[in-house]
Structure 1
Amino acid sequence: MIDTRSSVAIIFYEAVKQMEYKDSDPKHEQTPLTGFAGETTLSMGTIRHQIDACGVQKTCDFIVVGRPAPFYAILRKPWLYAIKAVASMYHQCVKFPSGRGTATIYGNQVASRIYYRNGHTQARSTDK
C-alpha cells in the first residue's frame, strides 16, 4: 500500500517472515507508533530492504510491526520522491521514469479486497 501521508514506512512481520529474514535481522529498536484511531503499538525493530519496481531499485528503511494487516507493507512519500513517482488515487496507479521509459504499476481492486478481507479475518481470530 502506498500512503502519501504516512510518516514512516512499515512492513508487517508476516511479510518479513515470508521474505526469509531471520528474527535477528530487524534491529531491535522499539518505536512507538500511533495509528489513525489513536491506538499505540510498539514496533519489533527496523530493517533495510531494497525495493525493485520495474527495474528501478531503491533501498528503504522499514519499521517492523507484529500485527496482522490486510497488506504486506506501507510505503511512504520519501520512497515516491526517491524514484520520482506520481501516485494517482483516481487511476489506481503509480507512474515513474525507468530505464525503458515511463513505468506504471497498477493497483488491483480484486486482490486488494481479498487481502483486506483476509487481514480482517486474521485480526479477528487473533483477538479471541
Structure 2
Amino acid sequence: MTKYTAPCDVTPDDTVTAFKDARHVILTPSTRVDVCLTPTAARTFARGILALADEIDGGETPEPARAPRVGDRVRVLEDDPGNRAGEFVGKVGTLLSVDKASEYTPYCVQFGDGTGYYGKWWVDAVELLTTDVP
C-alpha cells in the first residue's frame, strides 16, 4: 500500500500519514495534536496526497474549450464546401454571427476591416483563438 508520511517540524515524533482505500484518501495523525509542517514538507506531502487521489480517479481533467462567441477572434477550420475550395482555411478573423440552425456554414467571419467581396464569409467550422495571432 502506498502511503506518505510527514513529520512535525516542532515534535518530529508526531506525524501525519496519507493513504488510500478504493474511494478515499485518508489522513491519519500519529497523535491527537496538531502536526506542524514546514512549507517544503507541506508541499511534498500535498504532492503525495494528489498522487493518491490520481490513483483513485485518474486525475483532473482539463476544462473543455468553450464554443466561439460573436466578437471572438477565430481561425477558419473548414470553408464553405459548396462554394469555395478551401482558400479561407487557416485565415484568422472576427466572428460576426452564428446561425445554429444552419446545417452547414453556420459561422460568419469578418476578415480585416470587412470590406470587399471577401471581407466577410460564411464558413463551416472555426476554432476559438486563445492567444494573440497576427
TM-score range, shorter chain: under 0.3
| Structure with more of its chain in strand, by fraction | 1
TM-score normalized by the length of structure 2: 0.19
| TM-score normalised over the length of structure 1 | 0.19
Q: Which has the higher contact order (CA 8 A, sep 6+)?
A: 1
